[in-house]
Structure 1
């Protein structure tokens, strides 16, 4: 396989590395940058003027994204260290989409990245969403409650069957894409999407509803509020599924890389 550009002192992240939404090592230098795509990534320290380029042209970028999609630019964007911040700029033709549906276009000024986790998306051919995960280690004083010697408390994730996870990723894809005002898909929309991506499987509205209801009931019995009609009251609308998807994302049971299930 053709190698990506290396950075002196940087550390490569392999393909299949766990999502950066699950956190990074606690003993890193503040300002350390992690960048990850489905094909791998890199970890680098916060040296002034350092620049990490990402895009389609694997031999000429530090992190390859959208390698087989010609709509993605060969140099799609860059992360540059200036002062106490990492700044993201768009070098390509397509806009980069940040959380909150904010678009960063080629002609826009670079914007600073907040500490912590930031997913970036680029929409390619046939609506394919290419994900680039970024994590910036917080500077001293940015953490509200610093406990240097304490062990990290992992989030409590919920066990899902493969069918449950696939159904929930389809149902909650707008949330995983960090759209500004997301709503769950309807049962009909979810079933139609599942039949498109898994035509060999027998997906119906009732099957999707049954799988999701089982997960809601299981989490409700486990102490998660806002997942039953009795708690929420009428009119229900999308509230129960909205609360379910938010819970699964907040404890990292569902993370943006799970969108890859939509393209398997």
Structure 2
């Protein structure tokens, strides 16, 4: 397949996340064509697009009739055209044309009028007031270098190493990392008390006697496993001997969370069970 075979296109409704790479079609659905290097995928809660490298601009914002990707359509804090993805040859940049800043991984902010390069691979972008409502835009650029021109556009995209977590481990760490996953500014891990309370809200796990110590032990076990010398994809900064400063426990957990976010092991979808449990609780109390 040549680059010309991949045209700008709206993503099908079954595409719900870009965190794990180019989405694979479920049974019975037509697969996406193989994207050439430099293709950008962008997805909001409403709609997504895929565009190969060519002169093109993808607009996103509140005015769903006049942007490519609607985002925050009922939130007046989001500008009608809050930003745009712009292709410059083989590279993509993101420009903020709204009032609210955009929050990128690592707590970096893109302020109104600023423009920055979108790195190859996966970039989650958060927009909104953390105290009220935050909107989420996923961006993935298909990147990589071709060795001596031998590779072809059909090459599979290399995705980050995703660390294996059990369901319980994933939920405990997602609760601990909820400020990061919700895109809050200068996030820190929440308290063990709050993690235990979150776990007690989940119908199938609430009977395990959750408290601050049990939650902390789950996370400590994950840190130990991922930092073990024999672990193939060892993560550094998870052991006391590798970190300086206080509070030490917070630094270790912050390093763990950031490593899981950067590897896309942890994504915003991982806090959905807690949101669903809270909504169910509110619904029951109102009946």
TM-score when normalising by structure 2: 0.66
Partner of 2:65: 59
Partner of 1:143: 145
Measured in 2, the distance between the counterparts of 1:229 and 1:85 equals 38
Residue-pair matches, total: 249
Whether 2:82 is the aligned partner of 1:70: answer: no
Give the counterpart of 1:167 among 166, 172, 175. Answer: 172
Give the counterpart of 1:123 among 106, 120, 128. Answer: 128
Partner of 2:35: 28
Task: Give, in angstroms, the shift of residue 42 of structure 1.
Answer: 0.8
Task: Give, in angstroms, the shift of residue 52 of structure 1.
Answer: 0.9
Give the counterpart of 1:45 among 43, 46, 52. Answer: 52
Measured in 1, the distance between the counterparts of 2:163 and 2:142 equals 23
Q: Where do residues 154-233 of structure 1 align in structure 2 (5 Å cutoff)? A: 155-161=161-167, 163-176=168-181, 183-191=188-196, 194=198, 198=201, 204-216=211-223, 219=226, 223=231, 224=234
* Superposed CA offset, 1:51-89 (max 9, x none): 111123333321122234333233221112234432322
Give the 3-state SS of the residue equivalent to 1:59 in structure 2: coil
Give the counterpart of 1:85 among 82, 86, 91. Answer: 91
Give the counterpart of 1:111 among 109, 116, 129. Answer: 116
Measured in 1, the distance between the counterparts of 2:39 and 2:158 equals 21
Measured in 1, the distance between the counterparts of 2:52 and 2:226 equals 40
Whether 2:253 is the aligned partner of 1:253: answer: no
**Root-mean-square deviation (CA), in Å?**
4.0
Task: Give, in angstroms, the shift of residue 101 of structure 1.
Answer: 2.5
List runs of 5+ in structure 2 lacking aligned partners.
1-5, 24-32, 277-287
List runs of 5+ in structure 1 lacking aligned partners.
1-7
Give the 3-state SS of the residue equivalent to 2:65 in structure 1: helix
Task: Give, in angstroms, the shift of residue 183 of structure 1.
Answer: 3.9
Task: Give, in angstroms, the shift of residue 219 of structure 1.
Answer: 5.0
Measured in 1, the distance between the counterparts of 2:272 and 2:75 equals 15
Are residues 110 and 243 of structure 1, via their aligned partners in 2, closer, same or farther at CA, if it must alter by over 3 Å?
closer
TM-score when normalising by structure 1: 0.71
Give the 3-state SS of the residue equivalent to 1:184 in structure 2: coil
- Bigger CA drift: 27-36 or 17-26? 17-26
Are residues 65 and 263 of structure 1, via their aligned partners in 2, closer, same or farther at CA, if it must alter by over 3 Å?
farther
Measured in 2, the distance between the counterparts of 1:232 and 1:206 equals 23
Partner of 2:30: none
